[in-house]
């Protein structure tokens, strides 16, 4: 399958990957190109910025969650009708699972998809040392996939000399530079970047950045590099990997999905898989709507920033009551991270004020001074998941990333850290509820959405509330 594509990577977090990726995407959109964008790894916010630029949903590609065939399938399917695909790396180029492996790194994604890499090098405070820095990345792996370099925060005066030096000494193409652009910076908060909706002049910033990049990057050469990417070996179906991929309900079911400024962390491919399995996703807002949508067969509460919207969530008594009544009556529900917090009796907000929430799960959520549990995990169910035997479901790849903790995290699953002896019990799992801090990517184990929808069908047949 012919998929023109590149991956923008860097030596470390904070090197300017997201800013430059968004600026390049905007420049390509300005050229009237149809672009697909992807974020490497378990990131929710960067794809939101990509989506604002390209006007369609950005996706995630993660080689911890999915094997090579599934990763290539998702890339091929999501980029099939586009002129080019742009992937943004994660952390440092080789940084992967457990801090001691390249698995699930940007390099691993490039290697899995045979994608040309452009290394973004933060040049602040360096000149000729840049050559040594780049040389290390080129040679650390026999096939690094690095085909080009972009210098970030480099002066126009130094650039021609550094381009000549690096190309002559290392034989890698230098594809431009980005000067310091302070008025285009994207701010951060405790879980990463602020949301696109919070930046009033985001469109203007991105257009300004795109104009800069048109002058300082060799965009035609970048597109040529993408065009020369090898053909992608894309499987036509995933059913051989897991029969659950072929599952489809005999009729559509209405699944309520919380979606607003408090609940905004989700994977677009999760939605698509649920829809292909027969779900009709009905959006609602626990912040703004007084009532749940009518005739629901299940509820999805994903993560986000409930701690920033604690007062509004507490004030919406009717929504809290209806969610509690629905779940207590047996309506199936999946809740993760922020959604899990919202189901507690109480939740501390960012100001340390205790807010009354849904009351489905006894106890309180509270803020901690640092990331409590974060990174990849492998989940194993203790007994069953929505009535399906644990051994039928198998291991579930997941991840956690949160500053808040709970007095009652649950103990129906065990979470194991990869390449580590660390582990802990977590998640509340009943016949109709799956709620805990871990985030799930359904293509990693389609048995989870299948079990959830089967339980929703059972609920539908026995009578909605």
Which residues are annotated as catalytic?
337
7 in Cβ contact with 117 (< 8 Å) = yes
* CA 283 remoteness from chain centre: 20
Secondary element (H or E) of residue 373: strand 373-381
199: left (phi over 0), alpha (psi -120 to 50) or beta: beta
- Where would I find the beta strands (DSSP E) of 234-371? 253-258, 263-265, 279-284, 298-301, 303-304, 333-336, 344-348, 354-356, 361-367
Nearest to 88 by CA among 47, 28, 148: 47
How far is Cα 54 from Cα 63, in angstroms, rounded to an integer? Answer: 24
* CA 412 remoteness from chain centre: 25
Strand pairing class (84-88; 35-40)? parallel
How far is Cα 363 from Cα 74, in angstroms, rounded to an integer? Answer: 39
How far is Cα 306 from Cα 281, in angstroms, rounded to an integer? Answer: 21
283 in Cβ contact with 312 (< 8 Å) = no
How far is Cα 76 from Cα 229, in angstroms, rounded to an integer? Answer: 13
Query: Is residue 162 packed enough to be buried (19+ CB in 10 Å), middle (13-18) or exposed (0-12)?
Result: buried
């Amino acid at each position: 399958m012919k998929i023109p594509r590149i991956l923008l990577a860097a030596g470390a977090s904070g090197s300017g990957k997201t800013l430059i990726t968004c600026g390049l995407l905007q420049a390509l959109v300005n050229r009237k190109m149809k672009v697909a964008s992807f974020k490497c790894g378990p990131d929710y916010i960067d794809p939101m910025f990509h989506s604002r630029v390209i006007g369609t949903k950005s996706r995630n590609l993660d080689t911890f969650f999915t094997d090579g065939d599934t990763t290539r399938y998702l890339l091929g399917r999501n980029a099939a009708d586009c002129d080019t695909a742009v992937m943004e790396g994660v952390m440092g180029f080789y940084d992967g699972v457990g801090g001691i492996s390249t698995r699930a790194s940007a390099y691993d994604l490039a290697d899995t998809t045979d994608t040309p890499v452009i290394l973004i090098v933060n040049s602040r405070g360096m000149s000729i040392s840049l050559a040594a820095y780049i040389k290390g990345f080129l040679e650390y792996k026999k096939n690094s996939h690095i085909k080009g370099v972009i210098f970030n925060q480099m002066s126009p005066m130094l650039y021609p000399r550094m381009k000549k030096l690096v190309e002559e000494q290392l034989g890698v193409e230098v594809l431009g530079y980005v000067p310091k652009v302070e008025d285009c910076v994207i701010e951060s908060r405790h879980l990463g970047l602020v949301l696109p909706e919070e930046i009033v002049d985001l469109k203007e910033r991105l257009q300004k950045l795109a104009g800069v990049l048109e002058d300082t990057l060799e965009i035609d050469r970048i597109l040529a590099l993408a065009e020369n990417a090898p053909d992608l070996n894309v499987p036509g179906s995933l059913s051989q990997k897991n029969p659950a991929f072929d599952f489809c309900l005999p009729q559509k079911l209405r699944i309520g999905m919380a979606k607003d400024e408090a609940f905004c962390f989700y994977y677009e491919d999760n939605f698509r898989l649920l829809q292909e399995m027969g779900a009709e996703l009905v959006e609602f807002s626990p912040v703004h709507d007084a009532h749940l949508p009518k005739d629901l067969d299940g509820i999805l509460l994903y993560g986000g920033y409930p701690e920033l919207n604690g007062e509004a969530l507490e004030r919406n008594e009717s929504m809290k009551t209806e969610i509690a009544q629905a779940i207590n009556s047996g309506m199936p529900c999946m809740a993760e991270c922020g959604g899990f917090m919202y189901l507690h009796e109480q939740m501390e907000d960012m100001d340390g004020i205790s807010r009354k929430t849904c009351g489905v799960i006894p106890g309180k959520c509270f803020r901690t001074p640092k990331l409590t549990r974060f990174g990849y995990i492998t989940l194993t169910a203790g007994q069953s998941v929505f009535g399906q035997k644990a051994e039928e479901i198998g291991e579930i790849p997941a991840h956690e990333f949160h500053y808040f903790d709970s007095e009652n995290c649950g103990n129906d699953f065990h979470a194991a850290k990869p390449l580590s002896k660390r582990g802990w019990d977590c998640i509340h799992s009943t016949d109709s509820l799956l709620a805990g801090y871990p985030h799930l990517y359904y293509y990693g184990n389609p048995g989870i959405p299948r079990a959830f929808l089967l339980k929703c069908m059972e609920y539908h047949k026995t009578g909605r509330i």
